[in-house]
Structure 1
Amino acid sequence: MSVDLDHIQQVLDEADCLYNEQQIEEAIKSMGSAITEQLSNSNPLVYCVMNGGMVITGKLLTHLQFPLEASYVHATRYRDQLTGGRLDWRVRPSQDMKGRTVLIVDDILDEGHTLDAIVDFCKEQGAEQVMTAVLVDKLHNRKARPDLKADFYGLEIEDRYIFGYGLDYQGYWRNANGIFALKGH
């Protein structure tokens, strides 16, 4: 696959910055406080959803000052595309979660099919409680279920194609130090 790096750079250069690094870091700190208040005595198992959740999970963990186990799961519907397809499990959780509190951390709650499937899997494995934390909750009416909400979220975003802070544009810009909206989307 040939990548047009000039195009990739142009995407960032022309994008609208919706949230800067300082605003995002404050949101993560606030999420950490809320999660600590609710889960500090529950010995939770914290799962990072790869690849999008790696930035938020890494930063969020430093604000969770209580005992926890951290691991990851890899399930996707996007495979570096702009729209989602069928759920693809690449790595399922391997820890015993029977009777445990599980916190699933991801970059975004868009339609929520991936997050919903991971939550269902954890419940099927016997987790006593499954909670979700996302950096971004995208505001629209296309959720997998009408009542689908993250237990913890940092920011709300209008219904645009966004990237940065773990969210990608065709596999790139997860490392962008803000949350940006694609021009025209």
Structure 2
Amino acid sequence: MTKVKPFLTEEQIAHKVKELAAEINKDFGAEHFIAIGILKGAFMFFADLIRHIKAPLSIDFIVSSSYVDTSTSGEVTIHSDIRADIAGKNVLLIEDIIDTGISLNKIRERILQKSPRALKTCVLLDKKERRIVDVPVEYTGFVIPDEFVIGYGVDYNDSYRNLPYIGILKH
């Protein structure tokens, strides 16, 4: 039987999103940038975060996957790439969760090949103890333990994304 143990409340998440947006606002000021969300997982975090950003911005998305069931496959598949021309522009890459770093690193490398002026990364959840690839992350919401989390966009086999909080999946 699958159970969900609440981990981060809606209120905790909302507070952290505002804190991250304040840091981003401070760093970018009134300078335009392109916010790129990594789908599908980051859609809720992305939407909530950019609502609090005061700088002018454009948005785009990249769709990738690397998980099979509750384990990372180690293979990153890009299903849909960004459409924006980011050459010479400031870019903020927004991701829901980083664990091994393999996926985020591959996506960062792909973005860097398009010659942005600057690239910064923002993640809501960071499983530092699972890191295999060191990836620069300028904005981090929560450092979390090595548990399989769901909710607030994060899924298990494409389910649970609609939960307004983040929970730990227990089998």
Q: What is the TM-score of this pair, normalised by structure 2?
A: 0.93
The superposition leaves residues 90-128 of structure 1 with CA deviations (integer Å, 9 ceiling, x where unpaired) of 111121111111111111011121111111111111111
Q: Write the letter of the residue equivalent to 1:82.
A: T
* Whole-Å separation in 2 of the counterparts to 1:150 and 1:175: 26
CA RMSD of aligned residues (A): 1.5
Given that residues 99 and 130 in structure 2 are in contact (C-alpha distance below 8 angstroms), is that contact kept between their aligned partners in structure 1? no
Aligned mate of 2:25, from 27, 32, 36? 36
Q: How does 1:86-101 map to 2 (within 5 A)?
A: 86-101=75-90
Deviant stretches of 4+, over 6 Å: none
The superposition leaves residues 161-182 of structure 1 with CA deviations (integer Å, 9 ceiling, x where unpaired) of 1101111111111111211112
* Whole-Å separation in 1 of the counterparts to 2:10 and 2:141: 13
Q: Secondary structure at the match of 1:140?
A: helix
Flag structure 1 segments of 5+ consecutive residues without an equivalent. Answer: 1-9
* Whole-Å separation in 2 of the counterparts to 1:127 and 1:139: 27
Query: Does 2:157 correspond to 1:170?
Result: yes
Higher Cα radius of gyration: 1
Aligned mate of 1:144, from 128, 133, 136? 133
Query: Does 2:72 correspond to 1:84?
Result: yes
Q: Secondary structure at the match of 1:24?
A: helix
Indicate the structure with greater strand content: 2
Identity of aligned residues (%): 24
Question: How many residues are paired up?
Answer: 170
Shift in Å, 1:34 = 0.5
Q: What is the TM-score of this pair, normalised by structure 1?
A: 0.86
Flag structure 2 segments of 5+ consecutive residues without an equivalent. Answer: none
